[in-house]
Structure 1
Amino acid sequence: MARDPKLEVSAINIRIPDTHNRDYRALIERLAGLRRGVRVYGDSYVAIKFFSSDQEDMGIIAKYTEIDIDGDWFDLEDFDTATPERLEEISIPDALRPNLAQFYFQLFPDDHIVAVSTYAESKGLSTRSLLKYFREALSWREISEEFGRVEVDIVQNYHGVEELLALPYLKEVRIIIRRPNSDDVSGDLAAIIEERLKEQNGDEYEEVLRSKDSGDLEPNERTRKLGVVAAENGELRTKSIINGIMTERKASDMPLTEGTRYKPEEPEMVIFQSLAERIRETIARARQALNG
């Protein structure tokens, strides 16, 4: 008996600098309008295929393959390099690309997050590929001229951050925070980050804690809050002794996800929107806790 299809959703956090118009709909519409792909690994490319602010800020991300038409081809009949005569039989229109996979996404402009289906119909779009696409696309001249230097990060699992900071035999905590949206961060943390970045023209804030001698780190409330900020706006890395070996772990290896299996007769888009809303609510709660 076939298993019910599975759907997983992750999220990215996008921050337009406060020196520019923070119009996230316009940003995504501009990216979609450029109709340009980014090579994310090997011969795989990712592009925004469609976006509509009139349809609940929904869109589709396409993943496809670029093939080298002019390279050597393998003839399975002769089990050898294809001859020039066989190659003359190849006729692929210049505009076509194979291996298309499509993934829903939804923009939540007030939260400046994009929820993306990263697994659907037995096909996957890794968060690493997603991040690579957006980081390169947001650096395109057409984007930077209109929106400035836009930051983007995969939203990491908040519980994973807590687990990393609660590890036994913790020897090092490294927190890297790229410029956050100050509306998401409580006053005291915003002061720490914004003052040290904005006033000194910095782009990243980094804080490192290391234990002395045989002692172990015991992160305090401030460090835990910075870890939550880093979960959306940067990186958290820890080093601890596991089975006698110094081991590094990264929160980026634990993206925040929402997933479920559903009946084949259920509309995939409806299931996606439900998961997207759940992930948005999780992020909203984490931000409220920072400001509480």
Structure 2
Amino acid sequence: MRTLSLSALNIVLPPPHAASRYEELWVEAFRHQQPVRLRGDVGGLVRNVVRSRAKEAIFGDLLKFVNIAESRWLDLTTKERVKQDEVDERVSIPDSFRPNLHSVFYIFFPKVHRLVFATRVDQNNTLSPLMAQALVSKYLNCPQNLAKYGEVKVTIEPDRETLERIFKLKRLKQIELEIRPPNALGDVERELMEFLEQQNASVYRQELVSDDPAGLQLSEHTQLAAKVAQSNGYVAAKGENENGRVEELSTRSHPYQNKVTYESNVHLAQDVFEEAANSVIHDVTRPISKRK
């Protein structure tokens, strides 16, 4: 048995929000792509842009690797660092080669502007949500795309449990949320977009603090705004749990994760991933509705 892990990113363009623009954005970024730095000597690339038959999704792989030119070399015999000129003299590796390759699947859904990717295919192919966010953000915000589309915001989809834990804190002392205009997937999102557009605002921020022994009593409006913020910004809170212990919670700290177990001698990892990705999309794009 093997386990495949999936996470998701929310990709938001400046308006207008149309699926065709998101598809064009992704394809044009691929056309202009250059390797990007993710962290230290770790680099990244997007490999393949394959449209589904129904043209509702784009398939490919996210890659990470080590940039040799930026690496320092060690001589195990002397335990000393090797000088670069000696490395250049003795080590012959083509300039285009990169070691320690990790490759994971991705599917981009332009209509709902979400990208689902594997954080773990096996022990040799992994990519953390933070690195995926850095890779996709730099990939999409290449100079050519910035000039044509404006800055693209890429947010890691958080798990849905963190916000529920915030709401259930016995004494909620403080809550902070930020929303950047989302695509209008539901009534609440549409109202927030209209609210911001009417005032020429690009970001919505709200912070509530209470010294009352009972803590904050969040209105329905604030709770709905927080649900939008978890995918289109962030929610952070501080309060006391049932045991009187202070907890600090943030949607930024808890990425969404979906784990699928399968038999590798029966199913292909990519087939399992594609099926699971549809389940992830259904989960993270559920429209937010007001209580009736």
- State the TM bucket, normalised to the shorter chain: 0.7 to 0.9
Query: 2: distance between equivalents of 1:191 and 1:165?
Result: 22
Distance 1:36 1:104, change over 3 A: same
Q: How many residues matched?
A: 284
Query: 2: distance between equivalents of 1:245 and 1:234?
Result: 27
Tell me which residue corresponds to 1:137: 139
Q: CA deviation at 1:86?
A: 6.6
2:248 is the counterpart of 1:248: yes
Distance 1:76 1:169, change over 3 A: same
Query: 2: distance between equivalents of 1:72 and 1:193?
Result: 49
Is the CA contact (8 Å cut-off) linking 1:7 and 1:260 kept in structure 2?
yes
Tell me which residue corresponds to 1:27: 25
Is the CA contact (8 Å cut-off) linking 1:60 and 1:104 kept in structure 2?
yes
Tell me which residue corresponds to 2:235: 236
Tell me which residue corresponds to 1:178: 180
Tell me which residue corresponds to 1:17: 14
Q: % of aligned pairs identical?
A: 25
Q: With the length of structure 2 as denominator, give the TM-score of the two structures.
A: 0.87
Query: 2: distance between equivalents of 1:40 and 1:206?
Result: 29
Query: 1: distance between equivalents of 2:95 and 2:291?
Result: 53
Query: 2: distance between equivalents of 1:291 and 1:28?
Result: 36
Distance 1:72 1:54, change over 3 A: closer
Q: CA deviation at 1:18?
A: 2.4
Query: 2: distance between equivalents of 1:7 and 1:271?
Result: 8
Is the CA contact (8 Å cut-off) linking 1:185 and 1:229 kept in structure 2?
no
Query: 1: distance between equivalents of 2:136 and 2:256?
Result: 17
CA RMSD of aligned residues (A): 2.5
Distance 1:256 1:63, change over 3 A: same
Tell me which residue corresponds to 2:66: 65
Q: CA deviation at 1:73?
A: 2.6
Is the CA contact (8 Å cut-off) linking 2:163 and 2:230 kept in structure 1?
yes
Unmatched segments (≥5 aa) in structure 1 = none
Tell me which residue corresponds to 2:80: 80
- Secondary structure (helix, strand or coil) at the match of 1:88 reads helix
- Secondary structure (helix, strand or coil) at the match of 1:175 reads strand
- Secondary structure (helix, strand or coil) at the match of 1:39 reads strand
> Please, which of 154, 158, 161 is the counterpart of residue 152 of structure 1?
154
Distance 1:35 1:141, change over 3 A: closer
Q: CA deviation at 1:136?
A: 2.8
